Structure 1
Amino acid sequence: MTPFADLHHRPGRPLLLPNAWDHASAVALAAQGFTAIGTTSLGVAAAAGLPDGAAATRAETVRLVRRLGGGDFLLSVDVESGFSDDPAEVADLAVELAELGAVGINLEDGRADGTMAPLAEHAAKVAAVKSAVPELFLNARTDTYWVGHPDPGPEALRRLLAYQQAGADGVFAPGVGERDAVARLVEGLAVPLNVLWTPTGPSVAELGALGVARVSLGSLLYRSALAAAVATATAVATGGPVGPVPGYAEVRALSER
């Protein structure tokens, strides 16, 4: 088992995975003691002026991993649906990212048009990646809770079981929030379950008690950074107080890490 996989097998102590969108955000998080960091596809896409979830940011994602991979933190990469419908092409991308230093990827079955990939199609991508680069931790995500499926819980479990069977090391169900629904997924699976933290949902400690192995922050930090930037500009314009911010030298030092 790899060091990154080990972090998913600590009963009651889920891995809290913050998600970065550029070099500075990743290094700043690592400096605060986070040993594993993910990327956020929304943050990467929005920073480049491109749509998220539309297979438009393959080059930007690879470029970011080239900067961050092999550093002093473990890097998991959000690759949307793999930027391709061809399992072989998705596997080639996974190999490239692993060679650049990524230790995991997040692979989703949601599509840009609000539909979901056929189960067999996404399972084939999972199997192709694990065959090509077995040491890479593959977190297979289902979007049943996000696409308005009429029965998201049972459909999520059906899909996650198929991805587990295809070789996924962990599975992800963003949008599940009710404690009973989380517990049912944990009980039905043999691989670690990842959920997305929400302000109105259970705390990290409560999720750990339910058996959740990984808690992701998704695009929360990127959206929070945008809100802080706008709030700061507005405060300056209106003469309001500006909160504490890192100094120039502190931020510049991040690029030297």
Structure 2
Amino acid sequence: MQREEKQLEVTLQAILNRVNDLKTAIQALIAKLENEYETINWPTFLDNYAILSGHLTGLSKILQAEMAPSLRALVVLPLQLGCERDEALSRLTEGRVPACTHDLVPDLLRTKPEPQAEQRLQQFNHKASTLSYDTAQKQVAQFTKVVNHVWEIISKGREDWDGESMRSQGMQPTHSTGDTHALVTAVGTGKGLRPGLAPLGVGGGALGPRGPPGPPPPPGPQAVAMPKAPSAIKTNIKAANQIHPYQR
């Protein structure tokens, strides 16, 4: 029995720590939204939301742990009800619950939503279940169209914003038009690949008003003259013609 009570105490303390961390993160996010709503950006909001998600995940792991006792088997009930102010309860709840009254206890121990909220939830579920397939598809298509339109507006606004921010910061462009034209000319005509080599045109002459065209190239393929190697076959044939085997 003492082991179970000790285990329950450790589990409740871990849950309480996680809940306090979650509460602190929620308070920080609310403070940012109320005080920094003009300067807060989307990445900062996502970072704070990721912190909340991490605390919720940790709390779920504690509740789903095998070593943790089943809290569903425990009963929570007030030991004393009264209208007088309870300082210990007020300090424990940070001033939100000053006294454990008869009107407050049903809300604190409620295991189901309020009757009004439960009734509206049932109405929404009934409306969703009676919706036809074609009507649902039309609504989904219309919603998708609206989302795509909003996405295009946001993307265009972001591109304009990035361009204006670069111009306002005086950032130099990362490309050069002159270098692009020089690269295209070098690929197309060979200009600038070798020093002192004029660019060639379609007919093989020089391009541009740099001077008179050069002499036309000789017909046929241009080959570089190479020294001929001595032929051993010719020498042997010549020697065979000079010395005939039937001449004495």
TM-score of the superposed pair, with normalisation by structure 2: 0.21
Structure richer in helix, relative to its length: 2
Q: Which gives a bigger RCO, structure 1 or 2 (Cα 8 Å, sep 6+)?
A: 1
Q: Which has the larger radius of gyration?
A: 2
TM-score of the superposed pair, with normalisation by structure 1: 0.20
Structure richer in strand, relative to its length: 1
